[in-house]
Amino acid sequence: MPTATATFEPVITKTMHLEDSHTLGVYRKHGGYEALASALEKTPDEIIDLVKRSGLRGRGGAGFPTGTKWGFVPKGTDKPKYMCVNADESEPGAFKDRLICAKDPHQLLEGTLIGSYAIGASRAYIYIRGEFAHEARILERAIQEAREAGFVGKNILGSPWSCEVTMYVGAGAYICGEETGLIESLEGKRGWPRLKPPFPAVVGLFGCPTVVNNVETLACVPHIVNRGWEWFAGIGPERNAGPKLYGLSGHVNKPGVFELPMGVSLRELIYEYGEGVPGDRPVKGVIPGGASCPVIRGDEIDIQMDFDTLTRAGSLFGTGTPIVMDDTTCMVRAAWITARFFAHESCGQCTPCREGCGWLQRLLWKIEEGRGEEKDLDTLLSVTDQIEGNTICALGDAAAWPARGFAKKYRDEFLLHIREKRCPLDGALA
Amino acid sequence: MAQVKVKFDGREISVEKGTNLIEAAKLAGIFVPHFCYHPGLPVVGVCRICLCELEGRPKLVAGCATSVEEGMHVITRSKKVADARRAVMEFLLIHHPLDCPMCDKGGECTLQDYTMLLGPSRSRFQFEKLTWPEEDVGGKLVLNKNRCILCMRCVNLCKDVAGLDEIAVLNRGEQTFIGTVDGRMIENELAGNIADICPVGALTSKDFRFKARPWELTNVSSVCPHCSKGCNIVVGFHARRNEILRNTARTNMDVNQWWICDRGRGGFHHVHDEKRLTAPARRGDKGYQGVSWNEALLEISASLRDIILRHGARAVGVLGSGTLTNEEQYLTRAVFRDGLGITHIDFPRRPQPEVRYAKFTIEGDKDPNARGALLCGVAPVQSGLGVRDMVRAAAEGTIKALLFLRGAPSPIPRAGCSASARF
Ligand SMILES: Cc1cc2nc3c(=O)[nH]c(=O)nc-3n(C[C@H](O)[C@H](O)[C@H](O)COP(=O)(O)O)c2cc1C
Ligand code: SF4
Ligand code: SF4
Ligand code: FES
């Protein structure tokens, strides 16, 4: 076992190997819902303060400090407040939230309830990706169990506070994971992201103050309540605290979800936990945090996996779910596949994203097919520049970054395609 | 409202708090291009042509969706802004058919205008374009999706002003399109406004299509005569052909804001109707026979004088009209009531059910100036008869002459009535 993380004791995935880990019985046997009980003895402000101090940053991709987000919810308004759980996990490469929903739904529910209590919400919605039919069934069952046991519903654990939890199944659109797209979809509309400001904390679901949090973010909360903020802040690098579920996929011997501290080295993740690359082939590149994060080269994998380090390195931590590519991978094709995904998932609302994503996809396909010209590479880069920052939501950026990343990091390979008029790897792959 | 001081490209102005950058820039004499923004519709911020730079902020902001704040310095003339806007133009045109010569909007198309204004003049997009068939969507409109820039104005007009979801945006990504739901037709009577506000030639009016180029028209400001609302309109008149070709809305915030109804929009065709009386005629045994104005007026005044002399002014009825102007109403009263002492004087009312949309009502009172008629005294006096009794009395022969100042009841009463004239 690796040394750097040897002392780390998993908390989120701790009971997931047990039979029936998804049931209330197993959850309670391991201390489940004790955090909710002790949270209800504190004031909502104390909970927010606790989460702030813990340094928990959102696990949905942007890494926004969770306690701060909760603190934005206005006090002293008559409007109802809402907690929305983002279980839309659709980023290619990400499959960590799915694991929590399937294997430990009560952990998510407990975090959701504590979060709802902290922001003063009496209703929480779990927005789950439409394709997660199995997980949705498990969650629904868990909500039912929790309601029967008095953790959901009226006067929770005898307190004056009541909270309903409702699950809502999406219809298969990546954009409904964007928090305001999610809110629109919950309202029964097209999942078109909203203009911001106003931010959801002020004007969110049904026009009321709303917090949208990722599944994993909320799953951390009961542990912070149980073990204290100092414990959480003590894991991982400064300002990037806590345990993290890394979803490792691609060319590794042992893909899967690994719970490790924030800041684990990417090399360690691939070689120790992922048990290396099949056939001991070299790593050619890694998309560190889900498809929207710019690729890093195989010689750059001695890097700490956390928000700040990857941003400094010109990439992104995203959802912390690396996709490993070995030397049999054609980077032009990888770029094209990524671009095709975003072109397909663009909601079609803003001009640069709607038109630009389709254009990127066509340019990349042209190059991959051996019809590319050198000016196509310039056009590609300029299209990414013109999408980035000019759209309503971050999907535009999420499409521009990887395309630019691939074209810049593997310029040689792109030029080879253009000059040789074919994909040099096509033969080798057969 | 509180005022704030802001600068646009160095020019300081004071504007009302909450004003968006497009409107505020106007006050500073600076033009911020916009496709999706319309002052009468909700802000959607989707086209991104209005991107502006704010001093000290790395990201451009949408001018339509950003409100002025004290001390803000808005930059609209930087390279960054120009590049971003040019990029939006290039994006909007990648699948556009560039068919201006055969597009009905040519000459009054925002996309065309901005291409001239912002460029670029060449596209780097060298792939097959997406194409769509033309479609009838009802509402007297034709939809050509190839030209649509998905500004959402049509959708929001129906949703917000008419309060109906008759046209929607469907699918996603570059396959996104505007359409009706399940092939249903647009039925609301405000839909014609879409042809006015669609910034391109995607939704055009069946009625006006291919009739003329907009620059051939003389635009005359007018008021719609089809109900008591009095919407302000622009009559598009083709001088060479001596023909009215369309009515479009003219903004008047106190009356109709930016909109008119489809009855008013199409309410000019009667002007060119073959059956319309354009010259005096006398009805005789062989139907109508043309006469000169001189002859007609002489004959009418002679028989009027004759009837009044023989039977008195109570043998004459005058039917005025709620469609006449105040001046005409005054003359009706001055000539017939005050001058000739006629007491049977009235005008017909033609009420219809009011049509109430979310933000626009088509009035039920179809007489644009009933109030003017009443105020001017076009009404029976000294137990004179009203419209219906007058017509009956004419049929029975107690009234010998009826004068219609605009339009006549059908059929025109004959028996017993020795003379009737309509103008
Ligand atoms: C295009 C797009 C897709 C997103 N999809 C997801 C998603 O599937 N799950 C998720 O938790 N966050 C997703 N996000 C991030 C959310 O907008 C939001 O930041 C997050 O749910 C906030 O939760 P957190 O603060 O707990 O991370 C997406 C963002 C964008 C721009
Ligand atoms: S950036 Fe793309 S996905 Fe996001 S709102 Fe705009 S068109 Fe939709
Ligand atoms: S049809 Fe016209 S008004 Fe409607 S979205 Fe397209 S361009 Fe805009
Ligand atoms: S006018 Fe601002 S985005 Fe369209």
A350 Cα to the center of ligand 2, angstroms: 5
Q: Which residues of A touch B62 (CB under 8 A)?
A: 195
Interatomic CA distance for residues A52 and A50, integer angstroms: 5
pLDDT at residue number A430? 40
Q: Which two tokens stand for residue B18?
A: 């909450």
Mean pLDDT over residues A47-55, rounded? 98
Contact B226, B264 (CB under 8 A): yes
pLDDT at residue number A87? 98
How many Cα atoms sit within 13 Å of B218 on the Cβ side?
9
Residues pairing with A128 in the sheet: A87, A169
H helix or E strand, kind and range, residue A396? helix A395-409
pLDDT at residue number A6? 67
Interatomic CA distance for residues A88 and B94, integer angstroms: 32
Q: Is the pLDDT of residue B38 over 60?
A: yes
pLDDT at residue number B119? 84
**Helical H runs in A280-346?**
307-312, 331-345
Confidence of residue B183 (pLDDT cuts 50, 70, 90): confident
Q: How far apart are the first and last CA of chain A?
A: 36
Q: With a 6 A CB cut-off, is B50 part of the ligand 4 pocket? A: yes
Contact B320, B390 (CB under 8 A): no
Mean pLDDT over residues B187-214, rounded? 97
Which one of A174, A354, A397 would you pick to mutate in the ligand 2 pocket, going by the greatest count of ligand atoms within 8 A of its CB?
A354
φ/ψ (deg, to 5) at B12:
-90, 135
Q: Which residues of A touch B95 (CB under 8 A)?
A: 355
pLDDT at residue number B284? 83
Of A190, A347, A350, the CB nearest to B48: A350
Distance from CA of B35 to the nearest CA of A (A): 11
Q: Which residues of B touch A398 (CB under 8 A)?
A: none
Scanning every residue of chain A, which has its alpha carbon at the shortest distance from the alpha carbon of B177? A348
Q: Is the pLDDT of residue A427 over 90?
A: no
Burial of residue A390, with CB atoms counted within 10 A of its CB: 0-12 exposed, 13-18 middle, 19 or more buried? buried
Reported as a single tens digit per residue, the pLDDT across A167-191 is 999 999 999 999 999 999 999 999 9
Q: Which residues of A touch B61 (CB under 8 A)?
A: none
Which segments of B109-238 are extended strands (E)?
135-136, 141-143, 168-170, 177-179, 203-205, 218-223, 232-238
Interatomic CA distance for residues B336 and B301, integer angstroms: 12
Q: Specify the residue with its C-alpha closest to ligand 2, atom 8.
A: A347
pLDDT at residue number B286? 85
Q: With a 6 A CB cut-off, is A349 part of the ligand 2 pocket? A: yes
Q: Specify the residue with its C-alpha closest to ligand 1, atom 31.
A: A394
Does residue A149 come out as left (phi exceeding 0), alpha (psi in the -120 to 50 range) or beta? alpha
B196 Cα to the center of ligand 3, angstroms: 11
Interatomic CA distance for residues A289 and A318, integer angstroms: 4
How many Cα atoms sit within 13 Å of B43 on the Cβ side?
20
Domain B3-92 has CATH 3.40.50.720: no
| Tokens 């004007």 -> residue | A203
Helix (H, G, I), strand (E, B) or coil at B5: strand
Q: With a 6 A CB cut-off, is B84 part of the ligand 4 pocket? A: no
Residues pairing with B138 in the sheet: B186
Reported as a single tens digit per residue, the pLDDT across B112-130 is 999 999 989 999 999 999 9
Q: Which residues of A touch B173 (CB under 8 A)?
A: 343-348, 354, 357-358
Contact A96, A321 (CB under 8 A): yes
Q: Specify the residue with its C-alpha closest to ligand 1, atom 28.
A: A178
- Domains observed in chain A: 3-233 (3.40.50.11540), 244-326 (3.10.20.600), 331-420 (1.20.1440.230)
Interatomic CA distance for residues A309 and B217, integer angstroms: 64
Contact A413, A332 (CB under 8 A): yes
Strands B51-54 and B73-75: antiparallel
At the top level of CATH, the class of B217-274 is mainly beta
Q: Is the pLDDT of residue A3 over 60?
A: no
Confidence of residue B12 (pLDDT cuts 50, 70, 90): very high
Contact B368, B362 (CB under 8 A): no
Which segments of B85-186 are extended strands (E)?
135-136, 141-143, 168-170, 177-179
Which segments of B152-227 are extended strands (E)?
168-170, 177-179, 203-205, 218-223
Interatomic CA distance for residues A242 and A258, integer angstroms: 14
Mean pLDDT over residues A67-88, rounded? 97
Confidence of residue B133 (pLDDT cuts 50, 70, 90): very high
Q: Is the pLDDT of residue A22 over 90?
A: yes
Q: With a 6 A CB cut-off, is A395 part of the ligand 1 pocket? A: yes
H helix or E strand, kind and range, residue B75? strand B73-75
Cβ-defined contact of B174 to A386 (cutoff 8 Å): no
A321 Cα to the center of ligand 2, angstroms: 23
Distance from CA of B59 to the nearest CA of A (A): 6
What DSSP string runs through A221-262? HHHHHHH-HHHHHTSSSTTS-SEEEEEEEES-SS-EEEEEET
Q: Kindly list the domain boundaries of chain B, sorted by start residue.
A: 3-92, 217-274, 281-422
Reported as a single tens digit per residue, the pLDDT across B46-93 is 999 999 999 999 999 999 999 999 999 999 999 999 999 999 999 999
Cβ-defined contact of A355 to B51 (cutoff 8 Å): no
**Helical H runs in A57-132?**
66-71, 96-103, 105-119
At residue B40's C-alpha, the angle toward residues B35 and B46, to 5°, is 35
Q: Peptide bond preceding B411: is omega within 30 degrees of 0, i.e. cis?
A: yes
Percent of chain A with pLDDT over 90: 96
Ligand nearest to the CA of B37: 4
Q: Is the pLDDT of residue B415 over 80?
A: no
Q: Which of B86, B91, B122, B145 would best serve as a mutation to test chain A binding (most A beta carbons within 10 A)?
A: B91
What is residue B237's DSSP assignment? E
Helix (H, G, I), strand (E, B) or coil at A415: helix
Scanning every residue of chain A, which has its alpha carbon at the shortest distance from the alpha carbon of B128? A362
Q: Is the pLDDT of residue A318 over 70?
A: yes
Which one of B32, B35, B198 would you pick to mutate in the ligand 4 pocket, going by the greatest count of ligand atoms within 8 A of its CB?
B35
Q: With a 6 A CB cut-off, is B35 part of the ligand 4 pocket? A: yes
Ligand nearest to the CA of A195: 2
Scanning every residue of chain B, which has its alpha carbon at the shortest distance from the alpha carbon of A377? B124
Q: Which residues of A touch B59 (CB under 8 A)?
A: 389
Distance from CA of B182 to the nearest CA of A (A): 17
Mean pLDDT over residues A280-290, rounded? 97
B63 Cα to the center of ligand 4, angstroms: 7
pLDDT at residue number B407? 65
Q: Taking all residues of chain A, what is their mean pLDDT, rounded to a whole number?
A: 96
pLDDT at residue number A429? 44
CA torsion B76-B80-B86-B89 (nearest 10°) is: -80
Interatomic CA distance for residues A320 and A290, integer angstroms: 7
Q: Is the pLDDT of residue B135 over 80?
A: yes
Contact B91, B43 (CB under 8 A): no
Distance from CA of A160 to the nearest CA of B (A): 41
What DSSP string runs through B7-47? EETTEEEEEETT-BHHHHHHHTT-----SS--TTS-----S
What DSSP string runs through A265-292? BHHHIIIIIS---GGGPPEEEEEBTBTT
Q: Taking all residues of chain B, what is their mean pLDDT, rounded to a whole number?
A: 94
Q: Does B91 touch chain A (CB under 8 A)?
A: yes
Q: Specify the residue with its C-alpha closest to ligand 1, atom 2.
A: A178
Residue A374, number of CB atoms within 10 A of its CB? 12
- Rounded to whole angstroms, the maximal C-alpha distance in chain A is 73
Q: Is the pLDDT of residue B321 over 50?
A: yes
Name residue B132's amino acid: W
At the top level of CATH, the class of B281-422 is alpha beta
| Closest approach atom of ligand 3 to CA B35 | 8
Q: Which residues of B touch A207 (CB under 8 A)?
A: none
Interatomic CA distance for residues A179 and A260, integer angstroms: 26
Q: Specify the residue with its C-alpha closest to ligand 3, atom 4.
A: B154
Of A346, A352, A392, the CB nearest to B45: A392
Mean pLDDT over residues A2-25, rounded? 88
Reported as a single tens digit per residue, the pLDDT across A196-212 is 999 999 999 999 999 99
| Tokens 């204290």 -> residue | A228
pTM reported for the whole predicted model: 0.93
Q: With a 6 A CB cut-off, is B61 part of the ligand 4 pocket? A: no
Interatomic CA distance for residues A362 and A343, integer angstroms: 10
Q: Peptide bond preceding B101: is omega within 30 degrees of 0, i.e. cis?
A: no
Interface of A with B in 355-394 (CB under 8 A): 355-359, 362, 366, 375, 379, 386, 389-392
Reported as a single tens digit per residue, the pLDDT across B346-401 is 999 989 999 999 999 999 999 999 999 999 999 999 999 999 999 999 989 999 99
Q: Which two tokens stand for residue B277?
A: 């009386």
Contact A322, A266 (CB under 8 A): yes
Q: Which residues of B touch A195 (CB under 8 A)?
A: 43-45, 62, 65
Q: Is the pLDDT of residue B180 over 80?
A: yes
Q: Which two tokens stand for residue B89?
A: 């133009």
Q: Does A181 touch chain B (CB under 8 A)?
A: no
Q: Which two tokens stand for residue B141?
A: 């409109």
Looking at per-residue confidence, does A107 or A3 come out higher? Answer: A107
Q: Which two tokens stand for residue A181?
A: 């797209």
Mean pLDDT over residues A282-302, rounded? 97
Cα distances (Å, whole numbers) of residue A281 to A252, A326, A329, B218: 10, 6, 11, 76
Q: Is the pLDDT of residue B414 over 60?
A: no
Q: Does B176 touch chain A (CB under 8 A)?
A: yes
Cβ-defined contact of B172 to A345 (cutoff 8 Å): yes
Distance from CA of B266 to the nearest CA of A (A): 33
CA torsion B182-B184-B190-B192 (nearest 10°) is: 100
Contact A289, A323 (CB under 8 A): no
pLDDT at residue number B412? 60
Q: Is the pLDDT of residue A428 over 70?
A: no
Distance from CA of B30 to the nearest CA of A (A): 21
φ/ψ (deg, to 5) at B7:
-115, 135
Cβ-defined contact of B173 to A358 (cutoff 8 Å): yes
Reported as a single tens digit per residue, the pLDDT across B253-277 is 999 999 999 999 999 999 999 888 8
Reported as a single tens digit per residue, the pLDDT across B341-353 is 999 999 999 899 9
Distance from CA of A360 to the nearest CA of B (A): 10
